[in-house]
Amino acid sequence: MTGEFVTLEVAEGVGTIRLDRPKMNALNTQVQQELRAAAQEATERNDVRAVVLYGGPKVFAAGADIKEFAETDYTQMVARAEALTGSLTAVARIPKPVIAAVTGFALGGGCELALTADFRVCGENAKLGQPEILLGIIPGAGGTQRLTRLVGPSKAKDLIYSGRFVDAAEALAIGLVDKVVAADDVYTVAVEWASTFTNGPAWALRAAKAAIDGGLDVDLETGLRLESQLFAGLFATEDKRIGMESFLANGPGKAKFTGA
């Protein structure tokens, strides 16, 4: 898939959703639309088994297009806000492992995009944050919700109330990112991590993501019911048969899954 600013490139089972809107990958309306389209294609394509979100070697995404925001009034934003949230939610709902490869700035909407991923790898030069409060607004594309679920309410309030940036070391310490590597290695490490899932049982990975993400939004009893239903459904897959026959014959970790 090729958009003007967002592309989906696929190699050996890993789909890279790449942002390329100079200079800072600002998430204007067109980028949002192209992100949604890329997420939908990554969801539908069988040759995509895992996804990397990448903004290039210098910056992940520095946030919303502030010029566009400055020219938007209340009634216009009421009409646009749901589409803004929906574009990032489309990425969050990709039913495959998703890894954000963060270099440089991931601020505002850029940080919110990184939060849609299952895992985040960042460079030693990375700066992450939700500085919307400095503009007189709050995060509007999932920041108050996904950040809180990831790092807890107290730390999320610290970052959102102050608008301050955190460096890679602090982001790792508070659980905002999962790995910190040299800036030049971010994309390579993210692709290597994504590649560990490409030969896995696709339906089981999909079910695991659905159970974990869905369970976060409900009480324990409802979450357990969701897990039970997804668990039982996997007994209809070819990978279940392959995995169990391989285990009985050869022990764990040797199954050659087909994704069926």
CB atoms within 10 A of CB 258: 12
Kindly name the residue from 4, 34, 112, 192 that is annotated as catalytic. 112
220 is written with which tokens? 């324990």
208 is written with which tokens? 């695991």
74 is written with which tokens? 């209340």
Q: How far is CA 163 from CA 130, 147, 156, 160, 244, in A?
A: 5, 13, 10, 5, 50
Give the containing element (helix H, strand E) for 107.
strand 105-107
Distance from C-alpha of 11 to C-alpha of 17, rounded to nearest angstrom: 12
112 has catalytic annotation: yes
Taking the CA atoms of 231, 233, 239 and 244 in sequence, report the sign of the dihedral they define. positive
9 phi/psi in degrees, rounded to 5: -115, 135
68 has catalytic annotation: no
Kindly name the residue from 71, 82, 132, 227 that is annotated as catalytic. 132
Q: Which of 164, 168, 167, 166 has the alpha carbon at shortest distance from 178?
A: 168
Q: Which residues are catalytic?
A: 112, 132
